[in-house]
Structure 1
Amino acid sequence: MDKSQQENAAEAALPLSDAVQHALAVTKRGVDELLIEQEFAQKLARSEKTGKPLRIKLGLDPTAPDLHLGHTVVLNKMRQLQDLGHTVIFLIGDFTSMIGDPSGRNATRPQLTREQIEENAKTYFSQASLVLDASKTEIRYNSEWSDALGVRGMIKLASRYTVARMMERDDFTKRFKAGTPISVHEFLYPLMQGYDSVALESDLELGGTDQKFNLLVGRELQKDWGQEPQCILTMPLLEGLDGVEKMSKSKNNYIGITEPGNTMFAKVMSISDEMMWRYYDLLSFTSIEHIAAEKQAVAQGKNPRNVKVALAQEIVTRFHSAQAAQDALADFENRSKGGIPDDIPEVSLNGAPLAIGNLLKSAGLCASTSEALRMVEQGGVKIDGATVSDKALKVEAGSFVLQVGKRKFARVHLSA
């Protein structure tokens, strides 16, 4: 046993202080997996002893311009670790975005241009700062060290991992067996993400459960570079409003963290009563004991709607304000009674008489005339509170409130 191993064994044998046990409990709340827990406990104990904070890394590729509540599951954990006094590193993957993360993909991800990546990256940190303490967050871009690698460095990095080990990755294996193409550049993604951990000398890296393979690559590369390997912490993936698919803008089942308070509130209220508990576990800052008490109260007859209202208000308050949450509740109750919200957009159009399908599309309430006519057929379209049932309706000039579904409204001024 060498000296470092002896020191690690000695550290592992020491009892954990109350502060370290508390930090460990905070870290583990709501997580899917913490690898390796004993190693992380030792890191926490060493940090307490030396006064040196741990370096905790989260990387996000700016593949879309906005963040949603699914992203905040891991951001919330970062904030908790930040509040414990550790250094959190918000890493924007401007280099890795050009490769495209193959995690969970059954086909090669389309590559983004540098211009698209830069545009998306502009909003990422400002939005993440709605969760993180921006003044205590280290923001980095992985192009800092990835661009400097060059071809020679990339070849040297690629030599450290075998194709066989890459094929241990579940999504690669499935695609290979199905005869679905795997581009060589996709093998570079986990290597580059792992190299980020080397460059930042991270002690802990966070990610969703779909990132486990990439995070483990980081551990292995750090060993190759003579660094103490990072621990990894995976967070569950939050289902979207449909309760089935992972929350995603591309699936239109998301709650954006910069959406208006009324919209956020109504979307939270639209999730099922069963899914509500999942959202509480992954998004709420209320105590585990409080959530358990609410579950018991619902089982004994409490209306789950009231519990869901509390969750919706907590989320709106976090990203807007307490007043916005109160206003959102009032607006939601007004809509539930068939009322019209106060803050609906005003749209001026011409061309009356205008076919109902074209009107709904032009007002921005439906993406296409076919969708509009489908909504009419389903009874989901109202003009001044009256349901429209005629798909051939031509709307005459005038001013009126147009409604599609429960949440889409527009005050339309239609002229000839």
Structure 2
Amino acid sequence: MSTAAELAARAVDCVPPGELERKLALGRPLRVKFGVDPTAPDIHLGHAVALGKLREFQDAGHLAVLIIGDWTARVGDPSGRTSTRPMLSGEQIEANAVSYREQAFRILDPDRTEIRANGEWFEGLALQEVFRLAGSATVNQLLRRNDFAQRMQADQPVSVLELLYPLMQAYDSVMVEADVELGGTDQLFNFMLAREIQAHYGMAPQVVMTMPILPGVDGVQKMSKSLANHIGVTDAPEEQFGRTMSIPDAALAEWYRLLVPDAPPPAGPPVADKRRLGALIADRFHGPGAGARAEEHFNRVVRDRGAPDEMPDVAIPPGTVHLPALLVDALGVASRSEARRLIAGGGVQIDGAPVRDLDLEADALDGRVIRAGKRRFARLRRDP
């Protein structure tokens, strides 16, 4: 069993002081909760920071309780938000939840993981129990949250639904009997409120542990898919390596500390440290050797401006091909508007020559190599 100090390594908060030691002294596996709302289909490296800490608890003999917030996602976590989140459909949430479950096991040990969807208890929650939960906290408490307070001061709306979110997250801790809850520093208010709600229900309050928030590849803002500054845990090794090479030098030490804590810290020059980090990340999520292959691909495709040895074949129908649609459907460009910007900036090439026409004839594309940005390649094949 690891000590409390070892389990709390790299954490920002581990509160109350001494409580983790007391929990460990119980001599049983602790139930360590981590909740995620499936508001997007992918887990990225920012999620991997807390999930990696959860894996450390598992390796020390404890049980990970992974909450898939299929009902809290309908409300939307207001943490750090300056406006109300749009509500997702049930179909979107369920599709994202399936993806989350699969991707989480790239980090977690499935044999020591209990997966729960909070729809298990919220879907059939009686109104009497809603009253009991609502009566366990005050509006004054909830409005002390920084994001709520700032929005109130700016005369921006805070919905009653949003006020319920911290209570719903706290109720998750009650239902799974959490001993410890893990998450980012932006969750501290929610986690501390959960301790009070657990006590209201006659339970021993959980230990609260928060982890630093990983900056995105821009090195400034929190890693987020909506900001397009993320690296997904299921991204191809070449994509993970190439995106890592683009992070600012100032972010290197934090990325090493949070993502590969067992590796030697960066020692310079920065480009060599980024190469080592990119290879370590690819190896972590795709197995030994993936990093070396990704680096070789980066050298050939980006540094030496060549085409990769292997690339997907993309079938195109006869007639006119709308290039922005092709880039979205076949090469993974985020949207047609992004594809148009890429084309206008010379970032789309066919057989090495920039192309700026939006509509092209399929016969002229048959057998040619298309490149979008630095790392997306495909060979075009016209359907008969």
Normalising by structure 1, we get a TM-score of: 0.84
Distance 1:361 1:142, change over 3 A: closer
* Amino acid in structure 2 at the alignment position of 1:311: L
- The counterpart of 1:410, out of the listed 366, 374, 378, is 378
- The counterpart of 2:282, out of the listed 290, 293, 316, is 316
Cα deviation, residue 365, structure 1: 6.5
- Paired position in structure 2 for 1:30: 10
1:211-360 equivalence runs, <5 A: 211-287=187-263, 290-291=264-265, 294-295=266-267, 298=268, 303-335=269-301, 336-350=303-317
Cα separation, 2, equivalents of 1:140 and 1:363: 35
Deviations 1:264-293 (A, max 9, x none): 111112212221222111111415xx21xx
Deviations 1:39-77 (A, max 9, x none): 112222x13xxx312221111111122211111110000
Cα separation, 2, equivalents of 1:280 and 1:90: 25
3-state SS of 2:225 partner: coil
More deviation in 70-79 or 135-144? 135-144
Distance 1:352 1:144, change over 3 A: closer
- Paired position in structure 1 for 2:148: 172
Cα separation, 2, equivalents of 1:145 and 1:415: 51
* Amino acid in structure 2 at the alignment position of 1:282: L
Q: Say whether residues 1:56 and 2:32 are aligned partners.
A: yes
Q: Work out whether residues 255 and 267 of structure 1, in 8 Å CA contact, stay in contact via their aligned partners in 2.
A: yes
Q: Say whether residues 1:381 and 2:348 are aligned partners.
A: yes
Cα deviation, residue 144, structure 1: 2.5
Cα separation, 1, equivalents of 2:330 and 2:114: 43
Cα deviation, residue 364, structure 1: 4.3
Q: Work out whether residues 331 and 376 of structure 2, in 8 Å CA contact, stay in contact via their aligned partners in 1.
A: no
Deviations 1:79-114 (A, max 9, x none): 001111112211111222222211111111122233
3-state SS of 1:322 partner: coil
Distance 1:255 1:237, change over 3 A: same
Cα deviation, residue 324, structure 1: 2.2
| Aligned Cα root-mean-square deviation (Å) | 2.5
Deviations 1:153-189 (A, max 9, x none): 1011101111111110111111112222111111111
- The counterpart of 2:172, out of the listed 186, 191, 196, is 196
- Paired position in structure 2 for 1:14: none
Deviations 1:103-130 (A, max 9, x none): 1111111222333222221122221111
Q: Work out whether residues 352 and 415 of structure 1, in 8 Å CA contact, stay in contact via their aligned partners in 2.
A: no
Normalising by structure 2, we get a TM-score of: 0.90
- Paired position in structure 2 for 1:126: 102
User: 1 or 2, which has the higher helix percentage?
Assistant: 1
Identical-residue share of aligned pairs (%): 44
Cα deviation, residue 249, structure 1: 1.4
Cα deviation, residue 222, structure 1: 1.5
Q: Work out whether residues 397 and 415 of structure 1, in 8 Å CA contact, stay in contact via their aligned partners in 2.
A: no
Cα separation, 2, equivalents of 1:204 and 1:378: 50
* Amino acid in structure 2 at the alignment position of 1:316: A
Distance 1:178 1:340, change over 3 A: same
3-state SS of 2:3 partner: helix
Distance 1:366 1:87, change over 3 A: closer
Cα separation, 2, equivalents of 1:282 and 1:392: 43
How many aligned positions are there?
A: 381
Cα separation, 2, equivalents of 1:185 and 1:368: 31
* Amino acid in structure 2 at the alignment position of 1:90: L
More deviation in 349-358 or 330-339? 349-358
Distance 1:204 1:340, change over 3 A: same
Cα deviation, residue 412, structure 1: 2.3
Q: Say whether residues 1:136 and 2:136 are aligned partners.
A: no
More deviation in 333-342 or 404-413? 404-413
1:24-103 equivalence runs, <5 A: 24-44=4-24, 46-47=25-26, 51-103=27-79
3-state SS of 2:190 partner: helix
Which entry has the higher C-alpha Rg, 1 or 2? 1
Q: Work out whether residues 219 and 250 of structure 2, in 8 Å CA contact, stay in contact via their aligned partners in 1.
A: no
Q: Work out whether residues 365 and 409 of structure 1, in 8 Å CA contact, stay in contact via their aligned partners in 2.
A: no
Cα deviation, residue 361, structure 1: 6.2
Cα deviation, residue 149, structure 1: 3.0
Q: Work out whether residues 62 and 112 of structure 2, in 8 Å CA contact, stay in contact via their aligned partners in 1.
A: no
Distance 1:26 1:157, change over 3 A: same
